[in-house]
Amino acid sequence: MKFQFTVNFKDRRTNARLGEVLCGADEVDGDVSTLPTPAVLVPTSKGEHAVLTLDLLANVEKRLLSVLFYKRGEKLTIDETTRLFGTVVIGGHFVEKSGRGLKRIRDEEDGAKEKAGEDAEEERARAAHAHAEKGPPSQRLTVGHYRDSMYFGLNSQSRAATGIVCDTPFGQKSMTPEEYSRIWSGDAHVAIALADEHVGWESMKKSKTAAIRTCEWLDVCVRESKANDIPLWGVVLGGEFKDVRAECSKKVAERDEDLAGYVLGGFYAGETPSKRSELIECVIEHLPAQKPRYLPGVTTLEDIIDNIERGVDVFDATWASETASRGRAFVFPIRSEDVLDWDEETDEWNQPCATTGADAYSINIWSTAYKRDFSPFIDKTTRGDVCACPACTEHTRAYVHHLLQAHEMTSQVLLEAHNLYHLVSFFAEARRALRDGTWARFATFHRRYAASSRFVKAAATPATSAKNNQALEK
């Protein structure tokens, strides 16, 4: 498996960087893909996007590539190898039935070590053959993870010293680092080391134990990664405690020559939000600059902006899927030019709407307000930019509203396609701003937008009330 990361450009004022991941199947020359960073990974279920079939996923990417090429293409290098998002696949989803998989490996470990070595070799060979028959993985960067951000249950009771408990198609199973590492041959370009990830409010003592255990498991994962020839990303934990975080980060960074990247684990797991920023900064401080950093679980735009500025390269797109599963479509502006006549004072256009459940980032398509709304999710009259996703180009709010009310699955297909397109489009714009030197303007705009969307209006003056009443009467 080929995996390579290069940092091409560093922002002057922040720690943000533009990079590129090159990945592909080793055997075939030229069969590689390029993923520009900061980038986003799409969540999957059993190796692929839960809802969107191959054609739709490719359609979303193709449309966005075309739009970028035609509208903003001058400084972008786009060719057939360019990808706009990667995928994160979950170890637990690939666990085989106990007859052949975990149980057998565990029995081998319990038995004679030499025999275990040979059988493990055989197991790997058989797995590799089976995977080879399936064909090479998609050329989209595929990162193997233990944490399923869509359904992540941080169950601290079932953590054992020997591994973690994860959801598999055959129920909950505990997995040791060895068992986990062997899942990845042929399925991923990069594997994330197994870590003892825990809830964010865990005590200092438990956070320390988990961090130490994680480093021990890292050694195991490094060994397995060399045997399986899969590049490895090390995970830094530490809970809410700066010193534990720093210590863990340094320890993991010591393994730098065996690692292809780093994961900031255990965030967005219930820790105190106000502490999160300094914890992330503290971890990154000790990580080498030339390797990619992945921060799973980030949801809000502000956080994405903040973390890009801290030097995070890879995020995940869970927010897009979560928003779609609630029947909501992203409508947030991507560039300041997308906002027409934005008056921060009155800000009528940006106000959350109690009657439809809209907020500044998405609209609630369940609302009966959309029953006869034959405009697309992102409507040219309220935004300066047209959305070229399959849902907006081909369908309307009224149609998707109807599909939701009728409990038709196509509603999820269209919402997921749109939300993914929009989020990936945001990342593309972030990269463009970094490249063009307009990052400060881009970041400021989004921070102001986020702040104004939470701004609680003071008691209405007569002037404001009159304007509001007029809007209601329309």
Partner 1 sequence: SMPDPHGDPSWPQRKITNADAPPHDERTPPLSFEVLAVDGRARASVLALAHHDCRTPMFMPVGTQGSVKGLTSAQLLDIECQVVLGNTYHLGNRPGADVVAQAGGLRCFMNWPRATLTDSGGFQMVSLLDLADITEEGVTFQSPTDGSQMLLTPEKSIEIQNDIGADIIMALDDVVSSVTADRARFEEATHRTTRWIDRCIAAHKRPHAQSLFGIVQGGLDLDLRDVSLKGLLARGDNLPGFAIGGLAGGESKEDFVRIVAHCAVRLPENKPRYIMGVGYPLDLVVCTALGADMYDCVYPSRTARFGTALVPEGMLRLKSHSNENDHRPIEAECDCLTCKHYTRAQLHKIATKEPRAANLLTIHNLRYQMRLCSAMHTAIIEQRFGTFARDFIYKQFPSGDIPLWVRQAMEYAEIDLIR
- By the 8 A CB rule, do 347 and 452 touch? yes
Q: How far is CA 344 from the centre of its chain?
A: 31
Is residue 173 at the binding interface for partner 1, with CB under 8 A as the rule?
no
Select the residue interacting with partner 1 from 31, 112, 122, 134 (CB under 8 A): 134
Q: Is the dihedral of CA 300, 201, 87, 310 positive or negative?
A: positive
Task: Tell me how far, at minimum, the Cβ of 67 lies from partner 1, in Å.
Answer: 6
Minimum CB distance to partner 1 smaller for 35 or for 57: 57
Give the tokens for residue 34.
């390029």
Distance of alpha carbon 438 from alpha carbon 337, whole angstroms: 13
Is residue 334 at the binding interface for partner 1, with CB under 8 A as the rule?
no
Is residue 69 at the binding interface for partner 1, with CB under 8 A as the rule?
yes
Is residue 74 at the binding interface for partner 1, with CB under 8 A as the rule?
no
Minimum CB distance to partner 1 smaller for 247 or for 416: 416
417: three-class secondary structure by DSSP: helix
177: three-class secondary structure by DSSP: helix
**Nearest Cα to 198, choosing from 220, 214, 182?**
214
* Bridge partner residues of 339 (DSSP): 383
Burial category of 210 from C-beta neighbours within 10 Å (exposed 0-12, middle 13-18, buried 19 and up): buried
Alpha-helical regions (H) of 255-325 = 273-285, 301-310, 318-325
Task: Tell me how far, at minimum, the Cβ of 410 lies from partner 1, in Å.
Answer: 4
Q: How far is CA 278 from the centre of its chain?
A: 21
Q: Which of residues 180-209 bind partner 1 (CB under 8 A)?
A: none
Is residue 49 at the binding interface for partner 1, with CB under 8 A as the rule?
yes
Q: Which of residues 367-426 bind partner 1 (CB under 8 A)?
A: 371-372, 374, 388, 390, 393-396, 398-399, 401-403, 405-406, 408-410, 412-414
Is residue 122 at the binding interface for partner 1, with CB under 8 A as the rule?
no
358: three-class secondary structure by DSSP: strand
Please give the size of the binding site for partner 1, defined by CB under 8 A: 46
Is residue 77 at the binding interface for partner 1, with CB under 8 A as the rule?
no
- Cα 196 to Cα 158, 166, 297, 412, 441: the distances in Å are 11, 12, 16, 33, 39
Minimum CB distance to partner 1 smaller for 28 or for 58: 58
Is residue 133 at the binding interface for partner 1, with CB under 8 A as the rule?
yes
Per DSSP, 13 falls in state S
Minimum CB distance to partner 1 smaller for 361 or for 370: 370
Task: Tell me how far, at minimum, the Cβ of 71 lies from partner 1, in Å.
Answer: 9
Give the tokens for residue 306.
């903040």
**Nearest Cα to 180, choosing from 292, 315, 89, 87?**
89
Select the residue interacting with partner 1 from 21, 35, 41, 51 (CB under 8 A): 51
Task: Tell me how far, at minimum, the Cβ of 122 lies from partner 1, in Å.
Answer: 16
Is residue 222 at the binding interface for partner 1, with CB under 8 A as the rule?
no
Q: How far is CA 368 from the centre of its chain?
A: 31
Is residue 172 at the binding interface for partner 1, with CB under 8 A as the rule?
no
Residue type present at position 331: V
Is residue 452 at the binding interface for partner 1, with CB under 8 A as the rule?
no
Select the residue interacting with partner 1 from 50, 76, 116, 253 (CB under 8 A): 50
Select the residue interacting with partner 1 from 18, 67, 218, 324 (CB under 8 A): 67
Chain residues binding partner 1 by CB under 8 A are: 45-46, 48-56, 59, 62-63, 65-67, 69-70, 78, 130, 133-134, 169, 371-372, 374, 388, 390, 393-396, 398-399, 401-403, 405-406, 408-410, 412-414
